């Protein structure tokens, strides 16, 4: 009986090679699985399925994980205002983890004795897939043909041609990975330290030039209304923001970071919805949360983002941090007004019943109602005591 192997399949060159290699060279029954986390249209999903069968898989399934992706991960990235290195909303980092977990769960479900992925030995994805496979299906063999055989793109193409796969494989000038939480863009400029991506490289071209203002409505930290349209599912609200802001060229940047394997890397991305949501949410939080809530949220959220980026999403401590983040959102409800313009956006202000800039206690810089000048004088004296004593003893 042929060994059953589950292949995390995207339909690209690397995973197409994997199907032929695993089925024909190693004699395995290949069960391909595509995990949709919001980056594919129905037509694209159908085309990928047809491609899988044309290559010779025994079975192909599409597993939809978009709602789980939001509920179990993305909403916590918003709660935590998570931007890696103050720049990157972890678009691919988060997506890959969920794809890897779902592929491993499918392998366990059908009793596969092996799981495969098409990652090379150069980047972060190999670690994310390897870790998820080992945690979810520890007894399954992990097979990584591209990494193990150290194949070049040209070698893969020649192999497929020899196997009768007649397709015009070409290396696009820019590699594009589209997802619900943003689109990554890689090209020759991202392999340098001094060049930015040209206008033509961005998947969404600028077609809007007249600025417009939209209002976002948050309920307990989750986006529920965009420009007057209410959404029961926040996933649809995210898509709406992308639809409105993307044509302005909003959300473009280049992330420079440390890979899991210890080298520096650059990647371009366009992520209008994540960047707008995180900035708007953070602004609302600055109005409704206390000083120490904001402080500890920032510390824990930065660490949460790093753990997620490095493939540690399944560590139980992540559930602890998520509990903290969710609890902090009790009063994060209100409206945020945002200006959209070519290549930029600006948060204009907020409205919330929980706004701590309440006139009941006076106005900043004006007469206050809850304390007197003498109260502040006494407080300042006590608060400075320790450092005053230190200075007297050591420096006077």
What CATH number has the domain bearing residue 18? 3.40.50.620
Supply the pTM of this predicted model.
0.93
Q: In whole angstroms, what is the distance from residue 105 CA to residue 103 CA?
A: 5
Q: In whole angstroms, what is the distance from residue 2 CA to residue 216 CA?
A: 54
Q: Identify whether 312 is part of a domain.
A: no
What does the pLDDT read at residue 365?
A: 61
Domain match, 272 and 376 both: no
Number of structural domains (the chain) is 3
Q: Identify whether 304 is part of a domain.
A: no
Q: In whole angstroms, what is the distance from residue 10 CA to residue 19 CA?
A: 11
Domain match, 9 and 133 both: yes
Run of H or E including 147: helix 145-149
Question: How long, in residues, is the chain?
Answer: 396
Q: In whole angstroms, what is the distance from residue 146 CA to residue 203 CA?
A: 27
Domain final residue, candidates 150, 171, 192 = 171
What does the pLDDT read at residue 135?
A: 97
Domain match, 340 and 251 both: yes
Which segments of the chain have a pLDDT < 70?
1, 170-172, 359, 361-368
- Side by side, the strands of the sheet bearing 141-143 are 59-64, 29-36, 4-8, 114-116, 141-143
Range of the domain at 56: 4-171
What does the pLDDT read at residue 373?
A: 86
Q: In whole angstroms, what is the distance from residue 396 CA to residue 393 CA?
A: 6
Q: What is the tens place of the pLDDT at every residue in 264-293?
A: 999 999 999 999 999 999 999 999 999 999
CB atoms within 10 A of CB 337: 16
What does the pLDDT read at residue 358?
A: 75
Q: Identify whether 311 is part of a domain.
A: no
- Ranges of beta strands (E only) in 69-219 are 114-116, 141-143, 175-179, 182-186, 212-219
Q: What is the tens place of the pLDDT at every residue in 344-377?
A: 999 999 999 999 997 676 666 666 677 788 899 9
Q: In whole angstroms, what is the distance from residue 37 CA to residue 95 CA?
A: 7
Can you state the angle between helices 153-162 and 13-20, rounded to 10 degrees?
50
Round to the nearest angstrom and report the end-to-end CA distance of the chain: 87
Domain match, 142 and 14 both: yes
Domain match, 163 and 184 both: no
């Amino acid at each position: 009986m042929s060994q059953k192997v589950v292949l995390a399949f995207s339909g690209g060159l690397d995973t197409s090679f994997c199907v032929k290699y695993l089925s024909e060279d190693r004699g395995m029954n290949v069960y391909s699985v595509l995990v949709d986390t919001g980056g594919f249209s129905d037509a694209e999903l159908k085309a990928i399925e047809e491609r899988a069968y044309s290559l010779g898989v025994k079975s192909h399934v599409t597993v939809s994980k978009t709602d789980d992706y939001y509920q179990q991960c993305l909403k916590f990235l918003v709660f935590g205002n998570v931007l890696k290195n103050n720049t990157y909303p972890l678009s691919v980092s988060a997506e890959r983890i969920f794809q890897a977990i779902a592929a491993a769960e499918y392998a366990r479900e059908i009793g596969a004795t092996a799981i495969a992925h098409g990652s090379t030995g150069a980047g972060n994805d190999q670690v994310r897939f390897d870790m998820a496979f080992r945690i979810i299906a520890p007894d399954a063999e992990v097979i990584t043909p591209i990494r193990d055989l150290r194949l070049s793109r040209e070698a893969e193409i020649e192999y497929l041609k020899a196997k009768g796969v007649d397709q015009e494989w070409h290396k696009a000038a820019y590699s594009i990975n589209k997802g619900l939480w943003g689109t990554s863009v890689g090209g020759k400029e991202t392999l340098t330290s001094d060049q930015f991506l040209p206008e033509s490289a961005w998947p969404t071209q600028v077609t809007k030039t007249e600025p417009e203002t939209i209002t976002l409505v948050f309920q307990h930290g989750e986006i529920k209304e965009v420009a007057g349209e209410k959404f029961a599912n926040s996933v649809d609200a995210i898509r709406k923001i992308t639809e409105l802001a993307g044509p302005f060229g909003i959300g473009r940047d280049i992330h420079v970071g440390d890979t899991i394997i210890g080298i520096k890397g650059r990647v371009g991305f366009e992520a209008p919805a994540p960047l707008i949501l995180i900035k708007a949410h953070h602004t609302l939080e600055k109005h409704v949360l206390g000083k120490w809530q904001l402080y500890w949220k920032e510390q824990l959220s930065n660490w949460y983002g790093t753990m997620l980026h490095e493939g540690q999403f399944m560590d139980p401590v992540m559930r602890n941090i998520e509990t903290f983040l969710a609890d902090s959102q009790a009063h994060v409800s209100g409206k945020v007004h945002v200006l959209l313009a070519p290549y930029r956006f600006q948060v204009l202000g907020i409205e919330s019943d929980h706004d701590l800039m309440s006139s009941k206690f006076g106005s900043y810089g004006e007469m206050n109602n809850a304390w007197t000048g003498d109260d502040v004088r006494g407080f300042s004296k006590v608060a400075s005591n320790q450092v005053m004593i230190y200075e007297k003893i050591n420096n006077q």
